[in-house]
Amino acid sequence: MPIPLIIDTDPGVDDAVALLLALASPEVEVRAVTTVFGNVPLPMTTANAARVLALAGRGDVPLAAGADRPLVHPQPERAEGWHGADGLGGLAAGLPEPTADPDPRGAVGLMADVLRAAPEPVTIVPIGPLTNIALLLALHPGLTGRIDRIVAMGGSLGAGNTTGAAEFNVFSDPEAAHRVFTQAEVPVTLVPLDLTMRCLTDSRWLAELAAGGPRCAQLAAVIGHYHNAFRTRYGLDAVALHDALAVLEAVVPGTLRTTGFPLRVACDLGPARGVTVADRRRAAPGPQVNVALDADIPAVLGEVLKRLVTPPCECVTVF
């Protein structure tokens, strides 16, 4: 029985990779895609998600838009510098047109209906700001038993990418992240920058992706802007596929090696806003979040590539 997934996303170049990875993985069934503001504004993340679904030939997957802004304080910073003005490397218009309108139930309504209808608990994979997830937990506390776990990309126990110590998804809505990380009803696995910035692909990996057929060539072209941004900003021939790691962990549970910590998020308006704080004390109180801090990095990067270039029917879990 495939693992049922809901992916909450802000496409976003690495989100596009993550969505296609999930759709190419026979171990999971994507029951819904929901969108949130983030890398680019909500209307664009929603249109981009629809185009990526169309690129995968999966216009049948229900898609609904969620939060247009954070829960409490405005966070006007988007990430066009990394993802392009359209959120997909400037190539969104070249992807297939969306084949369906977004679901009128909206992200939280769609997620709640998918949870109610699922015969078995669902894995939710947030790969953008956690606003929709915090709203789901607040509006439907009775449905937490229908969620198997949350596997989120975000946070950093070390250096940030948006401020000195804050990662973009958590910085975009710290209050939402704090709510999700500190609740005890649903197990949370968090895939932070500490690991994703060690799992860097390069131009050789991108060339192999591009040779994987027309769909892969389009995806590789979309990644181009993001790759150039890494070269310009960091002087690296590299691409961090942050969100794909979270999806791979959801697809093959146990791929990433985790350590449990109680987490809190700084929600003040000072320089530490959006910082993820791990309580490393022995027997620290509070619900633990399983923080992914290690993996077989070459194996992970190889597995992502193989799944993207191999038609779904041929994928085998090799871990």
CB of 283 to ligand RIB, least distance (A): 31
The 224-263 contact track toward ligand RIB, x by CB under 6 A, reads ------------------xx--------------------
Alpha carbon distances (Å) from 218 to 16, 20, 94, 210, 293: 11, 12, 9, 7, 31
> Looking only at residues 89 through 128 of this chain, which bind ligand RIB when binding is defined by CB under 6 A?
127-128
List the one residue from 45, 46, 48, 161 that touches ligand RIB (CB under 6 A): 161
Q: In the structure encoding, which two tokens stand for residue 252, read together?
A: 């093959």
The tally of CA atoms less than 13 A away on the side-chain side of residue 50 is 17
Residues that bind Ca ion (CB under 5 A): 10, 12, 15, 127-128, 243
Three-state DSSP class for 307? helix
- Asked whether position 66 contacts ligand RIB by CB under 6 A, the answer is no
List the one residue from 8, 15, 86, 173 that touches ligand RIB (CB under 6 A): 15
- Asked whether position 10 contacts ligand RIB by CB under 6 A, the answer is yes
- Asked whether position 183 contacts ligand RIB by CB under 6 A, the answer is no
CB 5 within 8 A of CB 119: no
List the one residue from 25, 34, 35, 39 that touches ligand RIB (CB under 6 A): 39
CB of 10 to Ca ion, least distance (A): 5
H/E stretch holding 259 reads strand 257-265
Q: In the structure encoding, which two tokens stand for residue 224, read together?
A: 């181009």
Active site residue 73: no
CB of 39 to Ca ion, least distance (A): 6
Beta carbons within 8 Å of 163's beta carbon, 6+ residues apart? 171, 271, 273, 274, 275
List the one residue from 3, 5, 12, 252 that touches ligand RIB (CB under 6 A): 12
Beta carbons within 8 Å of 218's beta carbon, 6+ residues apart? 55, 91, 94, 95
**Residue number with CB closer to ligand RIB (143 or 223):** 223
Catalytic amino acids?
Answer: 242
